[in-house]
Structure 1
Amino acid sequence: MEDIEDLLIGSGGGAPPGFRLPLNTVAVKPKKNVKNGAKLNGSLLSESSLFSTVPGTQSDSEYMAGQLSSFGYGLSDDPENADLWLINTCTVKNPSQSAMDTLITKGKNAQKPLVVAGCVPQGSRNLKELDGVSIVGVQQIDRVVEVVEETLKGHEVRLLTRKTLPALDLPKVRKNKFVEILPINVGCLGACTYCKTKHARGHLGSYTIDSLVGRVKTVIAEGVKEIWLSSEDTGAYGRDIGVNLPTLLNGIVAELPPDASTMLRIGMTNPPFILEHLGEIAEVLRHPCVYSFLHVPVQSGSDAVLSAMNREYTVSEFRTVVDTLTELVPEMHIATDIICGFPGETDEDFAQTVSLIEDYKLPQVHISQFYPRPGTPAARMKKVPSNIVKKRSRELTAVFEAFTPYNGMEGRIERVWITEIATDRVHLVGHTKSYVQVLIVAPETMLGSSAMVKITSVGRWSVFGEVIEILTQTDRRTSTKERLSREVKCAPCVDQDESCACSGDNAAAPCACGLEGCGEQQNGAGTDTASHNQQLLEDQNNTSLIGNFLSRRRKTPTRKLDDSRTASGDSPKQETSREEAPNEWGFVDRVFLGGLILSLFTFLALLVHLGFRIKLSK
């Protein structure tokens, strides 16, 4: 079947078989109320498969789920009751494609309409398993609703070619509402001989710094507590548009809350493109709002194997990256990847890999066996026998699992950011500044919080802790300390027409908040913020009766007839409530103030009289 952009294939809708019909001529009606409660299944694979940790894939899944949900479709966890199956795929390993083939066969047998997205159809569009299946390319995820609509009508749709990147502000359904997976670029500059991802995602395409920083501002306002930068190669960011990764990172860090309530995690970075920026990257990793963690794949400890892989760096350069970051960043943790049994790998090559892993004892090493990907140069190379590949994989795994990277942490007190529920449904999962996984027993209301945690015991993969103090909590009321800070940053206005400049704003804004300051207007916090500020003022003015009285008067709403209703002939009994100007005083107010003034003069007169009598008595 020929792959043509915006092409419908099939006999549905009156089009004869093979008739080419541009998709943009098909009317697609919004389905805010889906007929018969139609549901689209969003989790045919296991949860880890739908929201894969492969760069780009998880973010794509969240964006597609968000668009379908906002259009009115439900996302079902039950494949049997779903009206359509949407399968997002990864092409990094052969087992992922095998799982896709199995799902497609199962879906066809169940007579379910199928849409396949991701790297597999993009990189291998002519697979026979994809016959009769609609396809969404990796850069066409913003059109998933159109593809689903047409597939449900019986059409087969293929959208694979595009010259622009999808927008970052598309609707999204996050797997974890506290974690934003932010793609900073697609594609890469490498040409690894074993990799199929480059075939699927193409050459490097970077989002602009302004668009990424704007997205960061948005998600922080939405309550996100972790931002993960996603990319096939984070270090290559911006080389196609004349900027670089440190510039982007500094722009993002400047927008993170100073209390470190939202943390940044930098994505996977290949050695070649980070070497020239090691000092600047280290400075960012030291920042309190950035995890001191980086994923730097090495793939092999042998230069000969790295050359065959076309990785464009040496083992010595990888060591330079690890040594420099470890020296410059306190408690720095680095993860890496290893491929066992790459074509041509000798026993000596493998021994060098084992030696490298033993030297660094990294806390995270992702070990995989080599799988030839069709169409790649490595697929044509002479393979290492499968029994040797498996043996090497087991041996390296045993070496790695013998490490005890978290020994010495017991008894330490660490700040931990808590964002997940553990698979045992008992513990919550948090991470230290170094991204060490911490398991704690705590209520789910602590999700999205950070806390000081005492490490009580250590395991091979995680540590366990108990909460000592909660530092930030998503559902808390503003603390006294924060309210005092806000009061300092945003001084109260003396009158209604004064301008007050709030922290973070370059220009003064008209004040509409009276003595309680401009926090309500600037932050949009409404009654809740006003009550916090009002309480702060009452605390500060508790020795001043007049100060408290004036503060309350400025907040007291009055009832006034709506002149427009009276003029139009409506009954004058209809009223609207609105805030009166703070200098409009009622009768009781004037009497109260007059009494205060009279009392003051009387007191002064008594003092004068008493002094005069004392003088006469002498």
Structure 2
Amino acid sequence: MEDIEDLLIGGGGAPPGYRLPITAVGVKPKKKNLFKSNPSADDSSNQPSPTQNPLVPKIPGTQTIYVKTFGCSHNQSDSEYMAGQLSAFGYLLSDNPEDADLWLINTCTVKSPSQSAMDTLITKCKNAKKPLVVAGCVPQGSRDLKELEGVSIVGVQQIDRVVEVVEETLKGHEVRLLNRKTLPALDLPKVRKNKFIEILPINVGCLGACTYCKTKHARGHLGSYTVDSLVKRVRSVINEGVREIWLSSEDTGAYGRDIGVNLPILLNAIVAELPPDASTMLRIGMTNPPFILEHLKEIAKVLSHPCVYSFLHVPVQSGSDAILSAMNREYTVSEFRTVVDTLTELVPGMQIATDIICGFPGETDEDFCETINLIKEYNLPQVHISQFYPRPGTPAARMKKVPSAIVKKRSRELTSVFEAFTPYNGMEGRVERIWITEIAADGIHLVGHTKGYIQVLVIAPETMLGTSAMAKITSIGRWSVFGEVIETISTKHHKTTLEDTLTRDKVSPCSNTHETCACSTEPESCACELGSCKGAVSVGDEVDSSRNIPLPEEPKRKNLIEWVLRRRKSQVMPKREETENPIVTERKQTLAGGRLDEWGVVDMILVGGILISTFTIFGLLFHVGSTTLSSSW
């Protein structure tokens, strides 16, 4: 059907975040009437009452929405914006698809597995007879897919109108919003997955034309937000208590080239707004080499700032110039080296992540050997390794493919090389400032990051989320390090000390360096590049970001019992059958050395109190019983 813009009365539209009058929305009614309890009944029959017919629609804005997100941090931000608008209009958000009245799937088109997961989810939703809205890069870049027939669609630049689409879809209509020439506003309501982290899109699209990339088909040509609008957003989220700001886009380095500015101008404007006590940190997103070569010294100066993580994701994709040319990456291996060498020289503690595609069409053994040598030379701590996925409609999909067996062999070989690195050796005993913003996947550790964005796992009360602390590195793992909090850092926003925190929770500081390793969860970086820049390697596997569903965080009780239970959980972990892999093996080994039967003072006090209370109750019962018997005689 036509896009909704072609059907609007008067050609106007609603301001961002507001509903259009229903009469002004062009919709395509579905053939089946979802609101009849008996489809075979005559049309003139009386409509059943809501109590008789469970399919009668509820009052708009009262339904429950299940949101599932695939892909990059930009996609995650889009989901948070859509969740925010739906929540602002009264809809409830749920992470349980069975309880939801409608499913909203935000898709990623980078890899074939991601789109396959979307297809499976759409089929599951249709089988469950749930209303469905599909958003993201897949419908935007491939709107004629058979799987999208009869499904409502929200385009990547139409996220500010998700409420309209959801309302009409719940009525049984099919709505498609895809075409637009302006960017969604940055000040829309937003429900963050993590209240301490703001994912800030600085531009959409890119200036590249990589032969393997499908995202360009969806996100389009470069479109940048103005410096003023981004600075205004930064001020706002800092006041809301955000402690990390992630700049996100398909290519951060290309920012502003369409509006007459550049990345250093934006970065300097944002840094000027950050609190001088470094209570809020800035993380710069993925940057391709071509667009930062002319700004390396300015960017290095920003990365050295106390309020900016000394970390950058710079994809190289291949160590062979011939393959880079076939990819149309618009830089050489030598230029990549220039970026890495310059930033490493000028920025103390600089950490760089990169991406590699194994088995690109035409890649020879010699080409792959050059990639291996490049990765060995730089010994980078974070490398994301992907097998080549031909995406329909891209030039690379028409190129002669490398046999899949060879592609898999190469990805395994490169993974073995990378996993042999020990990037965190020498950190034991060092004291680092860390910024704590997440609870680890195991529910035991809190996740902090050093200035170089190295992940540090600590055991501490949840009241330390959103704070900064000094931590001593006590041991290292392959994907992260373990630390012990020494003291919290008093800031303008968090005037607490370690003593204050521990007194409030009535516990003593502890850090068990032998606990199970628990990496924090993050959305993938860069929709244009193949995957994330996490320390853990993913060899051709798609990251499912369903864990990133943007739901409102419920307040968590901060009391003695909860903290002790968390501590006991950290000391006695249940045995689980797990698929063996290097990460699990490491976790089991570290757990084996854990203190499984050590009782702390608080534990003994609690048990003693329980025993005393029990004996007291028995004593009272005995006394009452004796008195009653005496009086009866």
* TM-score over 0.5 (shorter chain): yes
- TM-score, normalised to structure 1, is 0.72
Equivalent pair of 2:469/2:485 in contact (CA under 8 Å): yes
Residue 234, structure 1, aligned to residue 259, structure 2: no
Match of 2:442 in 1: 424
Give 2:66's aligned amino acid. N
* Residues 138-177 of structure 1: per-residue CA shift (max 9 Å, x gap): 0000000000000001110000000000000000000000
Q: Matched residues in 1 for 2:447 and 2:59: separation?
A: 37
Distance of 2:2 and 2:403 partners within structure 1? 37
The code of the aligned residue for 1:101 comes to D
Say which SS state the counterpart of residue 259 (structure 1) adopts: coil
1:112 aligned counterpart, secondary structure: coil
Q: Which of 225, 229, 241 in structure 2 is aligned with 1:223?
A: 241
Of the three residues 201, 223, 226, the one matched with 1:183 is 201
Structure 2 residue 27 is the aligned partner of structure 1 residue 8: yes
* 1:196 maps onto 2:214 in alignment: yes
Is 1:245 matched with 2:263?
Answer: yes
Provide the C-alpha distance between the structure 1 equivalents of 2:224 and 2:490, rounded to a whole number of angstroms. 34
Give the deviation of 1:77 after TM superposition.
Answer: 1.4
Matched residue type, 1:10: P
Residue 38 of structure 1 aligns to which amino acid in structure 2?
Q
2:99 counterpart letter in structure 1: N
Task: Provide the rounded CA distance (Å) in 2 between the counterparts of 1:181 and 1:340.
Answer: 29
Cα separation, partners in 2 of 1:359 and 1:478, compared to 1, 3 Å: closer
Partner Cα separation in structure 1 for residue 494 and residue 139 of structure 2: 46
**SS of alignment partner, residue 56 of structure 1:** helix
Counterpart selection for 2:63 from 16, 38, 48: 38
| Aligned partners of 2:472 and 2:485 also within 8 Å | yes
SS at match of 1:91: coil
Amino acid at match of 2:338: T
Q: Note if 1:368 corresponds to 2:393.
A: no
Q: Report the CA distance shift for 1:259/1:194 in structure 2 as closer, same or farther (over 3 A).
A: same
> Aligned residue for 2:311?
293
Residue 180 of structure 1 aligns with an amino acid whose one-letter code is E
1:264-302 deviation line (CA, Å, top 9, x unaligned): 000000000000000000000000000000000000000
Which letter maps to 2:383?
A: V
In the TM superposition, residue 474 of structure 1 has moved relative to its aligned partner by 9.2
Higher relative contact order (CA 8 A, sep 6+): 2
Give % identity: 82
The corresponding residue for 2:471 is 453
1:386 Cα deviation after fit: 0.6
Does the 8 Å CA contact 2:436/2:467 hold for their aligned counterparts? Answer: yes
Shift of 1:242: 0.1
Say which SS state the counterpart of residue 489 (structure 2) adopts. strand
Q: Decide whether aligned partners of structure 1 residues 433 and 34 sit closer, same or farther in structure 2, where only a CA change above 3 A counts.
A: farther
In structure 1, how many angstroms separate the alpha carbons of the residues matched to 2:182 and 2:273? 27
Change in 2 beyond 3 A, CA 1:476/1:187: closer
Match of 2:275 among 257, 261, 271: 257
Counterpart-to-counterpart distance in 1, 2:427 and 2:494: 30
Residue 507 of structure 1 corresponds to: none
Aligned to 2:172: 154
> Are positions 1:136 and 2:154 aligned together?
yes
Structure 1: runs of 5+ lacking an equivalent: 15-32, 44-49, 480-618
Structure 1 residue aligned with 2:553? none
Partner of 1:497: none
| Cα 1:36–1:144 shift into 2, 3 Å | closer
Contact 2:203–2:222, Cα closer than 8 Å, also in 1: yes
**In terms of Rg, which structure is larger?**
1
Shift of 1:358: 0.2
Query: How far apart are the structure 1 equivalents of 2:27 and 2:403?
Result: 44
By how many angstroms is 1:9 displaced?
1.9
Partner of 2:75: 57
Check 1:395–1:252 CA distance in 2 against 1; reply closer, same or farther (3 A cut): same
Q: Aligned partner of 2:63: which letter?
A: A
Distance 1:249 1:37 in 2: 41
In structure 2, the gaps of 5 or more residues are 8-25, 34-57, 498-633
The question of whether the paired residues in 2 share the 8 Å contact of 1:55 and 1:232 is answered with no
Q: Distance in 1 between matches of 2:210 and 2:363?
A: 16
| Partner SS, residue 410 of structure 1 | coil
**Is this contact kept in 2: 1:261–1:472, CA < 8 A?**
no
Residue of structure 2 in register with 1:412 after alignment: 430
Question: Which of the residues 113, 129, 143 maps onto 1:125?
Answer: 143
Deviation at 1:37, TM superposition (A): 5.1
Contact 2:67 2:93 in 1 (8 A): yes
Determine whether 1:84 maps to 2:102. yes
- Contact conserved, 2:213 with 2:391, CA < 8 A, in 1? yes
**Counterparts of 2:302 and 2:287 in 1: how far apart (Å)?**
14
- How many residue pairs get aligned? The number is 454
Matched, 1:273 2:291: yes
Aligned residues of 2:436 and 2:448 also touching (Cα < 8 A): yes
Which residue type is aligned with residue 341 of structure 1?
G
The letter of the residue matching 2:145 is L
CA contact 2:467–2:494 (8 Å) conserved in 1: no
Cα distance in 1 between the residues matched to 2:318 and 2:408: 16
Distance, in Å, in 1 between the alignment partners of 2:61 and 2:421 is 55
Query: Match for residue 607 of structure 1?
Result: none
Q: Which residue of 1 aligns with 2:225?
A: 207
1:412 deviation in Å?
A: 0.1
* Cα contact 2:4–2:175 (8 A) shared by 1: no
Show structure 1 runs of 4+ deviating over 3 A: 1-7, 11-14, 33-37, 472-479
Once the two structures are TM-superposed, the CA of residue 55 in structure 1 deviates from its matched residue by 4.2
- What is the letter of the counterpart of residue 216 of structure 2? K
Q: Distance in 1 between matches of 2:423 and 2:61?
A: 54
1:370-519 equivalences in 2 (<5 Å)? 370-472=388-490, 476=494
- Check conservation: 1:68, 1:144, Cα contact below 8 A: yes
Structure 2: distance between partners of 1:310 and 1:325 = 24
1:104 maps to 2:129: no
State the distance in 2 between where 1:424 and 1:98 align: 29
Per the alignment, in what secondary structure is the counterpart of residue 194 of structure 1? coil
Q: Using the TM superposition, give the Cα deviation of residue 81 of structure 1 relative to its aligned residue in structure 2, in angstroms.
A: 1.3
Contact 2:85 2:162 in 1 (8 A): yes
Contact 2:202 2:255 in 1 (8 A): yes
